[in-house]
Amino acid sequence: MMLTKEYIKELKSKGNGAIGNLIKRFSDSSSLIFILENLGQLPEDFDGRFLLDLLSHKHSTVRLWAIKSIGKLGKEEYLPILKQIATNDSDTNVRREAVSSIGRMRTKMGQSILIEILQDNDPKIVCQAIRGLLVFKGESIIDDSLKPLVNHENEMVRTIIYKEYFAERINKNNQPHIESYDYLKNVVVNADTIETMKLLKDESIHLTFTSPPYYNARDYSIYPSYKAYLEFLANVFREVHRITKEGRFLIVNTSPIIIPRISRAHSSKRYPIPFDIHPYLIEMGWEFIDDIVWMKPEASVKNRIGGFQQHRKPLAYKPNSVTEYLMVYRKSTDKLLDWNIRQYDRQTVQDSKVPEGYETTNVWKIDPCFDKVHSAVFPVELCKRVIQYYSYKGDLIFDPFAGSGTVGKTAKSLGRYFFLTEKDKTYFDYMRSKKSKEMFDAIETKFLTLEEFKQTIK
């Protein structure tokens, strides 16, 4: 006799005992799992006693499915055994399923068991218990048990409780999410980015894409120490955080850099910028989303592997770096991405759809771009992807370290607005010089000093 779904269904309808007998005949783990998986809905009077024996089965998937089936029965008499499994089973998934079954029963007795389970050491189990209890949110005994968990050791637990009980619903900037101020649209300010950002209202921009100065690796970046450099970047991104709209993105392009040795008696030093700036970003309220690797066809800096190629001595291996990072962050919020998307009208969502041919992996192979005036310009393709994947038409895109202004030019070509800051007069003038040619051809583009910009703010 073959074990089939139809056969299981037939036996189930035959009434009590039939499935129990089947289990005795097919007692190997995979048959048991097959039977349990295909039990489907269970009739109210279903005799689930045979399931209890399976709770001590050596195979955790069998135990898991036995628990699921017991959960379907919804009988209070099984609560003590479910509690025992929830607290004692050796497998987290089995324990979780037991907690979930207790929750699904929605009974008073189940409530008090779930409250006890909140003390569990495994955060996943605690989250599952919270889920079961939130069904009764509003009952004082439940709220009193859950609220203190906002200080729980585990960040996921804290986030759930914060969202359920403490998240403030007030938008500091009353402007609708999709709108931005006209005085920021297609504007380039020739000033220090922090000083400029200080003039902006909270939640003014939709997306930031930037490539900060590379510590002291190039001539335009002079910082007293690496720590001072990181703190400078932290201050920049703290302001960016403040002026970013709820739940929107920041994409930072950096890579580890190398400061050459001063003589043969010393070694060169590498600074892992993306990894060092990351903890600052998380701490100030950016949520990590993705690490995208920008891969270039060949190394753009000097050949590091040369020495090794001659001597091949281990330890002195120094690969040529052909990658940079695009670290993707989202301004932390209790709102889902769906909320952000829902703010846009249907037409805008339709018009902003990412066209065919988009990248499906986190390795983006893009040729670097060389420019006669600026030494580190973004390739247009790189900007294009970031802007298309992380913003909608009509959004305001910000680059605090504009350089030659590639972000601005690309944003514009994609039906977005841009706001740029660039400290260096040479680069600012360079952007302005290109105004009539390719990039800032629209009449509304403004090139302003800080003072001039201040005058325009309403």
Ligand X SMILES: C[S@@+](CC[C@H](N)C(=O)[O-])C[C@H]1O[C@@H](n2cnc3c(N)ncnc32)[C@H](O)[C@@H]1O
- Interface ranges with ligand X (CB under 6 A): 192-193, 211, 213, 220, 374, 376-378, 401, 403-404, 406, 421-424, 427
Report the 3 state secondary structure along the chain.
Answer: CCCCHHHHHHHHHCCCCHHHHHHHHCCCHHHHHHHHHCCCCCCCCCCCHHHHHHCCCCCHHHHHHHHHHHHHHCCHHHHHHHHHHHHHCCCHHHHHHHHHHHHHHCCHHHHHHHHHHCCCCCHHHHHHHHHHHHCCCCCHHHHHHHHHHHHCCCHHHHHHHHHHHHCCCCCCCCCCCCCCCHHHCCEEEECCHHHHHCCCCCCCEEEEEECCCCCCCCCCCCCCCHHHHHHHHHHHHHHHHHHEEEEEEEEEEECCEEECCCCCCCCCEEECHHHHHHHHHHHCCEEEEEEEEEECCCCCCCCCCHHHHHHCCCCCCCCCCCEEEEEEEEECCCCCHHHHHHCCCHHHHHHCCCCCCCCCCCEEECCCCCCCCCCCCCCHHHHHHHHHHHCCCCCEEEECCCCCCHHHHHHHHCCCEEEEECCCHHHHHHHHHCCCCCCCCCCCCEEEEHHHHHHHCC
Q: How far is the CB of 402 from ligand X (least distance, A)?
A: 6
Q: How far is the CB of 404 from ligand X (least distance, A)?
A: 4
CA atoms within a 13 Å half-sphere pointing along the CA-CB vector of 28? 3
Q: How far is the CB of 298 from ligand X (least distance, A)?
A: 20
Position of minimal CB gap to ligand X:
403
Q: How far is the CB of 458 from ligand X (least distance, A)?
A: 23
Per the document, the length of the chain is 458
Contact of 90 with 59, CB cutoff 8 Å: no
Give the nearer residue to ligand X in terms of CB position, either 69 or 406. Answer: 406
Among candidate residues 285, 281, 290, 278, the one with its CA nearest the CA of residue 331: 285
Q: How far is the CB of 374 from ligand X (least distance, A)?
A: 5
Q: How far is the CB of 193 from ligand X (least distance, A)?
A: 4
Q: How far is the CB of 325 from ligand X (least distance, A)?
A: 14
Give the nearer residue to ligand X in terms of CB position, either 20 or 274. Answer: 274
> Residue 85 contacts by C-beta under 8 Å, 6 or more apart in sequence?
55, 63, 67, 94, 95, 98
Give the nearer residue to ligand X in terms of CB position, either 63 or 241. Answer: 241
Give the nearer residue to ligand X in terms of CB position, either 146 or 252. Answer: 252
Give the nearer residue to ligand X in terms of CB position, either 286 or 378. Answer: 378
Give the nearer residue to ligand X in terms of CB position, either 85 or 411. Answer: 411
Report the largest interatomic distance among the alpha carbons of the chain, rounded to a whole angstrom: 88
Give the nearer residue to ligand X in terms of CB position, either 97 or 399. Answer: 399
Q: How far is the CB of 278 from ligand X (least distance, A)?
A: 18
User: Rounded CA gap, 329 and 57, in Å?
Assistant: 45
Give the nearer residue to ligand X in terms of CB position, either 193 or 340. Answer: 193
Q: How far is the CB of 209 from ligand X (least distance, A)?
A: 8
Q: How far is the CB of 441 from ligand X (least distance, A)?
A: 18
Q: How far is the CB of 234 from ligand X (least distance, A)?
A: 13
